[in-house]
Amino acid sequence: MRRGLGIALACAAAAVALALLSASLPHVQASAPDSDEQYLSPSEMAFSPDGRLLYVVCERSDQLLVVKVKDGTVLYRIHVGHIPRTVAVSPDGRQVFVSNSWDDTVSVIDTATLSVTRKIQTGAEPYGVVVDRTGKTLYVANRITSDVSVIDTATGVERKRLLAGHGASYLAISADGTRVYCTHVYPRIGEQRTVPQSEVTVIDTAREAVVERIPLEGVAGMFHVAVSTDGRLGVIGQMRPKNLVPLAHVEHGWVFGHSLTVFGADAGGTIEVPVDELEHYYSLQYGVAIAPDKSHIFVSASGSDIVTVIDTKRLLAFARSRRKPFVNDLSASANYVLARIAVGKNPRGVLMSPDGKRLYVANRMDDTLSVIDTVGNKSVGTIDLGGPKNITALRHGEQLFTTSRYAFQGQFSCANCHIDSTFDGLTWDLEPDGFGQDIVDNRLIEDLSGTEPFKWNGGNPSLTVECGPRTEKYFYRSESYSEKELAHLVFYILNLPLRPNRFRLSNGQLTDAQERGKAIFNRKVNKFGKPIPEGNQCSYCHSGPKYTSQLQFDVGTGKWTDRSPIFDTPQLVNVALTAPYLHDESARSLEEIWTVFNPRDRHGMSSDLTKDELNDLIEYLRTL
């Protein structure tokens, strides 16, 4: 009892403190972006077969730029679909394929006319795209549907979908064309509070089937994969979250490790190697390239504005000398890291020139490409792609979101947990509430305006508090944001748009099942005609345009690890994308919210529903 009173007093004191703090912080209104500046946000590149042209995907401007390699001139700007992500060139160079992540299409560009000749339908949220050696088959990694589309390039018909990892994202094809490798950004949905599991999905292009899944334990958040020209060495950029321990040891490095997975015959299996070093981290190992002679590996740290150069021979020799895994030994990198090359803001894709002498780096947050001399391992130039020079509050906020410079020793940025401004599929033990208490799911941050308060306990009244003192104190343990920076960061987050819902019909109508589910969601009486108490009606707590009353309730989902069973009502927009569910990710699917974790009908009246009706309800929820 005394302990309970103590906790209550502490909570009250904290609430008062946060409220006072909130009042003293700059107030940021959610509103439309303050400028329509057309930033480019270059993210990925590909060479024409002759090496004379560089195709650059620009996420923000929905463009593919054609850049003359010789002098860095932007020759053409081709409009593609919405939020393009990656690019591939057909072996004969006649076609360029660009994945449009918000349109669920691939734009096919005729390089003779430099026009989009066709848009091919893909799975939901296409990212990585590669063409096979014949040019007849296109492989597309779909992040939302977690699969790989196999598409006939001649007809544009999707022949099949292959099951890939959760949040399938990046692809690489072996030089001989026999294998396609696929990474994914979210860990596999498994048992709650277990070590994250990921996989490299290996596709046999002859059979167009998955033939191997290379397991990666402890990895969550894999980005680019590259394969050497002889097919004997593969490299993946990745994160290793330390989410099973309390986030109380930032200063000891217990938040994220940034590493590579090296696989293939040269590695003699699968080896994870750290890229961080003692007392400094290189966050978000995003783009990867292997020199044609395999002498060096280049990897961009997109949160650290750095390209790391690794001596492959020394790396493999060091790995062989270590009998036990050394991915958490931050002293290891000193044995194989040759150089850290400063590049532009938020470097993403890296691309090796065909002769291996130059490395191009897409600097997403300053609309440039860095050019690196791979012999001297130094930056030798910057290609300005022609983006606006004025930095708006929105742009500045995004730059702050993606940089890890504010965290202690540069360990991580907002983007580590909110991958591409989404989520990470992990639970964290965040707060200074005692170890192992208040395990929380990482919520989606799209379209947040009107969903406050924040945190699962509703303890943060505004994003200003959430991103300011809370982040500074509990997360970064380091330099805090200035008032202006905080305002811009909050402004960016509050203006993160909602991704299109993939489960609604294109005409906006609901299917029969979704209509039936909607009726269940909104019902006020049970199947036997008895009134359902207000608090047990779905639409009571999940009300309003974002499907949250912005109030906190005890819906019977509290666990022994929770200090209080009262939780903030989460918004339901795009809820289909964010499995697992509940405040602690204990429900692996929407179904389990009711089939497992609602035994007393406190989280909505569900015990009278048949399985068909529960399925209908879920079909409706997926449209929100």
Partner 1 sequence: MKLRMLTVLLLLVLPLAAAEKPATAKPVATAMPLFRWENFTTANGLPDNHVFTVLVDRDRVWAGTENGLALYEHGNWKVFTPADGLAHRAVLSLALDKRTGDLWVGTMAGLSRISAGRIDTYTQLNSGLSNDVVYGVGVQDDFVWTATAAGASRLDTRTGEWSLYNERNTPMAEIWVYAVSTGPDKVYFAVWGSGVLEYTIATGRWKDYTDPDGENEIVLFKDQGLIHKITTSVSYVDKTLWAATYFGDSHYDGRTWHNFMAKDSGLPSNFTNQVRGLDATRAWFCTDKGLAYYDGVNWAVYRPALDTGKPEMYIRDADGKITPVPVETAPAHNYILGIDFQGDDVWVATAKGLSHGVRQR
Which spans of this chain sit near partner 1 (rule: CB under 8 A)?
123, 145, 147, 159-163, 199, 201-202, 207-213, 502-503, 513, 588-589, 591-592, 595-596, 611-612, 614-615, 618-619
Q: Which is nearer to partner 1, 501 or 543 (CB)?
A: 501
Amino acid of residue 106:
V
Minimum gap (Å) between residue 568 Cβ and partner 1: 25
One-letter-per-residue 3-state SS of 127-193: EEEEECCCCCEEEEEECCCCEEEEEECCCCCEEEEEECCCCEEEEEECCCCCEEEEEECCCCCCCCC
Minimum gap (Å) between residue 145 Cβ and partner 1: 7
Q: How far apart are CA 526 and CA 522, in angstroms?
A: 11
Specify whether the CB–CB gap between 109 and 80 falls below 8 A. yes
Q: Which is nearer to partner 1, 111 or 586 (CB)?
A: 586
Question: Chain centroid to CA 283: how far?
Answer: 13
Strand partners, 363: 347, 368
| Residue 477 backbone dihedrals phi, psi, to 5 degrees | 50, 40
Q: Which is nearer to partner 1, 311 or 592 (CB)?
A: 592
Region of 531 (left: φ > 0; alpha: ψ -120 to 50; beta: rest) is beta
Minimum gap (Å) between residue 131 Cβ and partner 1: 20
Q: How far apart are CA 230 and CA 292, in angstroms?
A: 9
Mapping DSSP to helix (H, G, I), strand (E, B) and coil, where does residue 96 land?
strand
Q: Which is nearer to partner 1, 44 or 584 (CB)?
A: 584
Q: Which is nearer to partner 1, 377 or 615 (CB)?
A: 615
Q: Which is nearer to partner 1, 454 or 503 (CB)?
A: 503
Minimum gap (Å) between residue 162 Cβ and partner 1: 6
Q: Which is nearer to partner 1, 199 or 466 (CB)?
A: 199
Minimum gap (Å) between residue 120 Cβ and partner 1: 15
Specify whether the CB–CB gap between 546 and 573 falls below 8 A. yes
Amino acid of residue 156:
G
Q: Which is nearer to partner 1, 207 or 389 (CB)?
A: 207
Minimum gap (Å) between residue 476 Cβ and partner 1: 37
The terminus-to-terminus CA distance of the chain in angstroms comes to 42
Q: How far apart are CA 515 and CA 506, in angstroms?
A: 15
Minimum gap (Å) between residue 58 Cβ and partner 1: 29
Minimum gap (Å) between residue 531 Cβ and partner 1: 25
Q: Which is nearer to partner 1, 302 or 578 (CB)?
A: 578
| Sign, CA torsion 120/121/122/128 | positive
Specify whether the CB–CB gap between 499 and 602 falls below 8 A. no
Q: How far apart are CA 399 and CA 388, in angstroms?
A: 14
Return the closest-CA partner of residue 492 out of 458, 450, 443, 445.
445
Torsion of the alpha carbons at 112, 113, 118 and 123, rounded to the nearest 10 = 60
Minimum gap (Å) between residue 146 Cβ and partner 1: 10
Q: Which is nearer to partner 1, 79 or 159 (CB)?
A: 159
Peptide bond into 580 cis (omega under 30): yes
Q: Which residue has the tokens 């379209």?
A: 447
Residue 36 CA neighbour count, 13 Å, CB half: 0
Q: Which is nearer to partner 1, 162 or 448 (CB)?
A: 162
Minimum gap (Å) between residue 20 Cβ and partner 1: 45
Q: Which is nearer to partner 1, 385 or 587 (CB)?
A: 587
Specify whether the CB–CB gap between 550 and 598 falls below 8 A. no
Minimum gap (Å) between residue 535 Cβ and partner 1: 25
Return the closest-CA partner of residue 345 out of 30, 555, 39.
39
Minimum gap (Å) between residue 360 Cβ and partner 1: 34
| Tokens (6 digits) for 115 | 């026009």
Contacts of 602 (CB under 8 A, 6+ apart): 536, 554, 555, 556
